[in-house]
Amino acid sequence: MDGSIAILRRIWLAVLAASASLALAQPAAAQDKAACNDASVLGVQRVVEIDAKGGPLLGNLQYKEIDFLEPGEVVLTFDDGPSRQTTEAVLAALAEHCTKATFFMVGRMALAEPDMVRKIDALGHTVGSHTWSHANQGSLSAANAEREIELGVSAITAALGKPIAPFFRFPYLSDPRRSINYLEGRDIGVFSIDVDSYDFRTRNGAVMKQNVLSQLQKKGKGIILFHDIQRSTAAGIADLLDELKRRKFKVVHMVAKAPAATVAAYDAIAQKDLARRKVQTANNPLASRSMTWPVETGAGSGPAPVTVARPPSQQLPWKPAAGTAAAPPARNADAAAPQAARNTTPASRAERPTWKREELPWQEQMWNHYR
Which residues of this protein are in contact with Zn ion, per CB under 5 A? 79-80, 171
- How far apart, in whole angstroms, are the C-alpha atoms of residue 74 and residue 245? 11
Contact (Cβ atoms closer than 8 angstroms) between residue 199 and residue 227: yes
Using the minimum distance from each CB to Zn ion, give the nearer residue, 98 or 195. 195
- Taking the least distance from each CB to Zn ion, the nearer of 124 and 171 is 171
Question: Least separation, in Å, of the C-beta of 79 and Zn ion?
Answer: 4
When the beta carbons of 56 and 171 are compared against Zn ion, the nearer one is: 171
| Shortest reach from residue 227's CB to Zn ion, in Å | 6
Least distance (Å) from Zn ion to the CB of residue 200? 9
Q: Least distance (Å) from Zn ion to the CB of residue 134?
A: 6
Of 74 and 105, nearer to Zn ion (C-beta) is 105
With 0-12 / 13-18 / 19 or more C-beta atoms within 10 angstroms meaning exposed / middle / buried, residue 276 is exposed
Q: Check the CA dihedral 77-82-85-90 and report its sign.
A: positive
Give the nearest distance from C-beta 324 to Zn ion in angstroms. Answer: 32
- Distance, CA of 248 to CA of 245 (rounded, Å): 5
CB of 328 to Zn ion, least distance (A): 26
Q: Please state the closest distance from residue 334 (CB atom) to Zn ion, in A.
A: 18
- Shortest distance (Å) from residue 171 CB to Zn ion: 5
Q: Can you list the positions of beta strands (E) in the chain?
A: 46-50, 57-58, 73-79, 102-105, 126-129, 167-168, 189-191, 195-196, 222-227, 250-256, 306-308
Q: Are strands 73-79 and 195-196 parallel, antiparallel or unpaired?
A: unpaired
Indicate the residue among 171 and 236 with the shorter CB distance to Zn ion: 171
Residue placing its CB nearer to Zn ion in the complex, 79 or 121: 79
Q: How far is the CB of 371 from Zn ion (least distance, A)?
A: 18
Q: Which is nearer to Zn ion, 135 or 287 (CB)?
A: 135
Nearest CB to Zn ion, comparing residues 128 and 236:
128
- With left for phi above 0 and alpha for psi between -120 and 50, is residue 124 left, alpha or beta? left
The dihedrals phi and psi of 299, each to the nearest 5 degrees, come to -60, 125
The answer to whether residues 351 and 341 touch, using CB atoms and an 8 Å cutoff, is: no
Q: Do the Cβ atoms of 65 and 188 come closer than 8 Å? A: no
Between CA 41 and CA 53, with CA 47 as vertex, the angle to 5 degrees is 150
Is the Cβ of residue 226 or residue 249 nearer to Zn ion in the bound state?
A: 226
Residue of 154, 162, 145 lying closest to 294 (CA atoms): 162
Which residues lie below 8 Å from residue 233, measured CB to CB, with a gap of 6+?
78, 86, 90, 197, 199, 205, 208, 226, 227
Q: How far apart are CA 172 and CA 134, in angstroms?
A: 8
**C-alpha–C-alpha distance, residues 52 and 57, integer Å:** 9
